[in-house]
Structure 1
Amino acid sequence: MRIVIGEDSVLLREGLVALLGSGGHEIVAVAGDRDALLTAIREHRPDLSIIDVRMPPDFSDEGLRVAVQVRAEDPGARILVFSQHVTHQSATDLLSSGTGGVGYLLKERVGHVDDFLGAIDEVAAGGSVIDPEVVRQLLGRRRNASPLERLTERETEVLALMAQGRTNTAIAATLSISEATVLKHVNGIFAKLDLARSHVDHRRVHAVLTYLQG
């Protein structure tokens, strides 16, 4: 099986390479950030891509968004998300895409190597393997639906700092990201909370009120 691995942790990435290589699989590319991952998948068109959720540059849900994009471009692409995190909206988008060949496993809940290797085979064959904890969290969030659930984890962090009265400059310093990246997240927050540009209303204030009420 030809596999692309998207994982920013060097130790875990190399561990996966060694494990899968010893099982006879061919690792055609490894990627440690979003752009390299998307490029590798498009170039190699692997039998399976194993992807972490949080990757550079922002460590929010870049890997998962790559997975969603890849499935939009090719609904038959086989994707196994292997992460410590459940990012709700993107996870829902991924799991509802295509007709199979998708999986979502939580790293800390994989107790046996054979279970992991079995999941790889199942997803590559077009099946679906989803950790029950992922399902539980997604259903829990759906029951308590809120506009805030549309936000990525990074956007939620930015909004929380906005609620503290921080400027974009202060938010950038706190999160160790550029002001341009903060502005991108702020605009994403406005869009996802349906806060259109207005000469009358202050979108930043309305976004904070939505956060405080949520």
Structure 2
Amino acid sequence: MTDEQITVIVAEDSLLVRQGIVSVLEFAADITVLDQCENVTELYDAVARRGPKVVVTDVRMPPLYSDEGIQAATDFHTTHPELGVVVLSQYAEPAYASALLADGSARRAYLLKEGVSQPGQLAAAVRTVASGGSLVDPAVVEALVRDRRKHISSPLNDLTLAERAVLDEIALGKSNSAIARSMYLSERTVEKHINSLFSKLGLGTEPDINRRVMAVLVRLRAEHD
């Protein structure tokens, strides 16, 4: 091994996919895979023990299969600022990409698994983040642009997180009391959120049932614009 070697840890819960990634990387003479991990706990441990230059990780891994890979990348910004991270995902999900790049794009890459059609592409991404660069799959860039446009023009933009959550509950057809139980709030607090979101969405003094229906329609329209 020479000083030019790029040391890598691979994190992926699927054995076949993980071994495929390792095999692809090992074709590159300047890349050495130090360790393989099947969950995020193993990933944190391996990074602490082995000190790689780059991590190649899936987004969703045990234990919760949510966004463990993205959260690990965010944590590494603080604990291992020189560590490069390549996220391999099945999803052109703007929220994942935005979270990955929230603390800066240096040493970060977000690629779609289906977009890595040549062995050299993954190795090139590893080299890019190892040298301080960044790389985002074109399909993900397109999704980010669409999401940004939707965000700018969305009538839901002025709602607080709590008001959005209440609107989601209204869309499920729940009464105020049911929403209160679901969100662990008092009915009075729920009513305040509902009145506020009605006002922000420009819904006037029509009967409450009509305003609830209109609020749900506004939500659906915003999601599909």
TM-score, normalised on structure 1?
0.68
Counterpart check, 1:66 vs 2:59: no
Find the counterpart in structure 2 of residue 53 from structure 1: 59
> 1:30 Cα deviation (Å)?
1.2
Match of 1:9, as an amino acid? Answer: S
Distance in structure 2 (CA, Å) of the matches to 1:14 and 1:48: 17
Distance in structure 1 (CA, Å) of the matches to 2:105 and 2:149: 25
How many residues in Structure 1 have an aligned counterpart in Structure 2?
A: 175
Alignment of 1:1-214 (within 5 A): 1-24=6-29, 25-98=31-104, 100-145=106-151, 163=172, 200-202=188-190, 213=219
Contact 2:53 2:82 in 1 (8 A): no
Distance in structure 2 (CA, Å) of the matches to 1:67 and 1:198: 38
Q: Which runs of 5+ in 2 are unaligned?
A: 1-5, 175-181, 195-211, 221-225
Contact 2:54 2:83 in 1 (8 A): yes
Between 130-139 and 33-42, report the one with greater CA deviation: 33-42
For the structure 1 residues 211 and 49, does the alpha-carbon distance in structure 2 shift closer, same or farther, using more than 3 Å as the test?
A: farther
> 1:115 Cα deviation (Å)?
2.1
Match of 1:200, as an amino acid? Answer: R
Match of 2:9, as an amino acid? Answer: V
How high is the sequence identity, in percent, across the aligned residues?
30
> 1:198 Cα deviation (Å)?
5.0
Contact 2:94 2:140 in 1 (8 A): no
CA-based RMSD: 3.3
Q: Which runs of 5+ in 1 are unaligned?
A: 166-185, 191-195
Distance in structure 2 (CA, Å) of the matches to 1:64 and 1:138: 16
Match of 2:15, as an amino acid? Answer: V
Distance in structure 2 (CA, Å) of the matches to 1:62 and 1:164: 32
Corresponding residue SS for 1:56:
coil
Distance in structure 1 (CA, Å) of the matches to 2:186 and 2:88: 41
> 1:49 Cα deviation (Å)?
0.3
Find the counterpart in structure 1 of residue 204 from structure 2: none
> 1:87 Cα deviation (Å)?
3.7
> 1:121 Cα deviation (Å)?
1.2
Contact 2:105 2:134 in 1 (8 A): no
For the structure 1 residues 115 and 90, does the alpha-carbon distance in structure 2 shift closer, same or farther, using more than 3 Å as the test?
A: closer
Corresponding residue SS for 1:200:
helix
Provide Cα deviations, 1:57-99, integer angstroms capped at 9, x if missing partner: 2222111111111123333220111111134334213224246
Corresponding residue SS for 2:188:
coil
TM-score, normalised on structure 2?
0.65
Computing the radius of gyration over CA atoms, which structure comes out larger, 1 or 2? 2
Distance in structure 2 (CA, Å) of the matches to 1:2 and 1:112: 21
Find the counterpart in structure 2 of residue 178 from structure 1: none
Provide Cα deviations, 1:99-149, integer angstroms capped at 9, x if missing partner: 6111111010122112222222112111111111111111211222257xx
Match of 1:126, as an amino acid? Answer: G
Contact 1:72 1:97 in 2 (8 A): no
